[in-house]
């Protein structure tokens, strides 16, 4: 039977792919976002599928707005993605806490009041500090975040647990690291995707970090959120997501190969987050998950960027400084 899903932050990258997948299978996604700019949805969805989407504009820090939007949506399943990324939280930790921590409490409060079946929320691998790439970290590993953002995400995992203990509210927190694909245009780890876009345009691009990272194709990330929203058992679960642990050097090589020339370089410190995540726990709970190989995900992303560019619809606002530096 078709379902209605209430998705916060769904005008963003991961949300747009969740909305696409749900609408294409016949469900009704309700987008709750402070932004009314649907350019990311337009970049990946057919007009027919877009017609299934409902939009409610609102701010996650406003509990009354979240509560009334969730109630009016009629959704029984909530996917919570709205949030500020690492650089924004670093620049203004107070604003970061309002959106990422209070905003998440507002979602749990609203879900409790609405009798929601389950909340699946975006935590992050940033709950872990730096670690080596040889030992994949499990959920049982100590969490010592090295960013305000990571601290906020870890707090949300604790809040989710307490909402289950106090009110029986079921939840799943998912911890992606470096998600890539069309629409990934913001945050510390968005550089590889920006590099793919720049390469399609023939513009040089330097990825500003080095070392290894856990690299996951956005369609796979979206599938994990949906699977958990549909079938996670009772409780307050937290799971790592894992794509492929790869050196930035290899990402650069694959992008340059697809571009047919060496436009992308890299440098800078490694990301201070464990680069190898063990995802055995989520696979054990909900079965196998899609796992797009790096070469396939990069090729598909660059193919879609090319298609959008040729149609005059490629949004380049995230790499405008690189574009203007070449002119
Ligand atoms: N992209 C990644 O690699 C990654 C990795 C780990 C965790 N996450 C988490 O996953 C979630 C989604 O990530 P994304 O890459 O899609 O982010 P994004 O920045 O592309 O999208 C975030 C969305 O949240 C909305 N938003 C921000 N503040 C809001 C507010 N006050 N009220 C309502 N909406 C608001 C924005 O308008 C935007 O549409 C975030 O919580 C992020 O922290 C992402």
Tens-place pLDDT, residues 22-69: 999 999 999 999 999 999 999 999 999 999 999 999 999 999 999 999
| Mean confidence (pLDDT) of the chain | 97
Atom of ligand 1 nearest to the CA of 216: 3
Cβ–ligand 1 distance for 248 under 6 Å, the answer: no
For 262, residues 6+ apart whose C-beta sits below 8 A from its C-beta are 256
> What is the rounded CA–CA span in Å between residue 268 and residue 251?
15
CA of 51 to the centre of ligand 1 (A): 23
Write the CA distances from 106 to 62, 99, 102, 193, integer angstroms.
7, 10, 6, 31
Q: Is the dihedral of CA 106, 110, 111, 113 positive or negative?
A: positive
Q: Can you list the domains of the chain with their CATH numbers?
A: 4-179+216-244+272-293 (3.40.50.720)
> What is the rounded CA–CA span in Å between residue 38 and residue 11?
6
Task: Give the pLDDT confidence score for residue 133 in this predicted structure.
Answer: 87
Tens-place pLDDT, residues 2-16: 999 999 999 999 999
> What is the rounded CA–CA span in Å between residue 316 and residue 318?
5
Which tokens hold the place of 102? 């209070």
Tens-place pLDDT, residues 259-317: 999 999 999 999 999 999 999 999 999 999 999 999 999 999 999 999 999 999 999 99
> What is the rounded CA–CA span in Å between residue 303 and residue 233?
38
Write the CA distances from 272 to 138, 198, 220, 319, integer angstroms.
17, 25, 23, 24
> What is the rounded CA–CA span in Å between residue 78 and residue 85?
20
Cβ–ligand 1 distance for 186 under 6 Å, the answer: yes
> What is the rounded CA–CA span in Å between residue 278 and residue 73?
35
Task: Give the pLDDT confidence score for residue 178 in this predicted structure.
Answer: 98
Cβ–ligand 1 distance for 34 under 6 Å, the answer: yes
Three-state secondary structure along 72-108?
HHCCCEEEECCCCCHHHHHHCHHHHHHHHHHHHHHHH
Tens-place pLDDT, residues 77-122: 999 999 999 999 999 999 999 999 999 999 999 999 999 999 999 9
Mutate to test the pocket of ligand 1, among 13, 106, 172, 224 (most ligand atoms within 8 A of CB): 13
Q: Is the pLDDT of residue 327 over 80?
A: no
Evaluate whether 18 touches 41 at the Cβ level (below 8 Å): no
* Parallel, antiparallel or unpaired: strands 212-217 and 244-247: antiparallel
Terminal-to-terminal C-alpha distance of the chain: 54
Cβ–ligand 1 distance for 243 under 6 Å, the answer: no
Q: Is the pLDDT of residue 214 over 90?
A: yes
Backbone angles phi, psi at 159, to 5 degrees: -65, -40
> What is the rounded CA–CA span in Å between residue 75 and residue 77?
6
* Prediction pTM value: 0.98
């Amino acid at each position: 039977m078709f379902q209605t899903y209430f998705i916060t932050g769904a005008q963003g990258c991961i949300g747009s792919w969740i909305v696409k997948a749900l609408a294409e299978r016949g469900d009704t996604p309700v987008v709750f976002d402070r932004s009314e700019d649907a350019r990311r949805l337009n970049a990946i969805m057919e007009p027919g599928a877009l017609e299934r989407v409902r939009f409610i504009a609102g701010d996650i820090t406003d509990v009354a707005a979240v509560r009334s939007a969730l109630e009016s949506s009629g959704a029984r399943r909530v996917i919570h993605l709205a949030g500020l990324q690492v650089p924004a939280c670093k620049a203004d930790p107070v604003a970061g806490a309002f959106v990422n921590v209070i905003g998440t409490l507002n979602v749990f409060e609203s879900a409790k009041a609405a009798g929601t079946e389950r909340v699946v929320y975006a935590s992050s691998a940033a709950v872990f500090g730096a670690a080596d790439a040889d030992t994949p970290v499990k959920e049982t590993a100590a969490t010592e975040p090295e960013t305000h953002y990571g601290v906020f995400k870890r707090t949300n995992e604790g809040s989710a647990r307490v909402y289950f203990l106090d009110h029986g509210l079921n939840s799943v927190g998912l911890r992606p690291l470096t998600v890539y694909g069309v629409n990934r245009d913001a945050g510390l780890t968005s550089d590889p995707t920006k590099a793919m876009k720049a390469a399609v345009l023939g513009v040089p691009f330097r990825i500003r970090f080095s070392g290894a990272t856990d690299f996951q194709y956005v369609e796979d990330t979206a599938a994990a959120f949906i699977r958990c929203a549909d079938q996670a058992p009772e409780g307050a679960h937290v799971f790592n997501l894992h794509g492929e642990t790869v050196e930035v050097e290899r990402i650069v090589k694959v992008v340059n190969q697809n571009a047919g020339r060496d436009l992308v370089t890299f440098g800078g410190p490694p990301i201070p987050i464990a680069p190898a995540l063990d995802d055995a726990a989520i696979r054990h709970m909900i079965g196998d998950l899609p796992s797009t190989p790096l070469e396939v995900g990069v090729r598909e992303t660059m193919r879609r960027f090319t298609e959008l560019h040729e149609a005059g619809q490629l949004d380049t606002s995230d790499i405008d400084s690189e574009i203007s530096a070449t002119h």
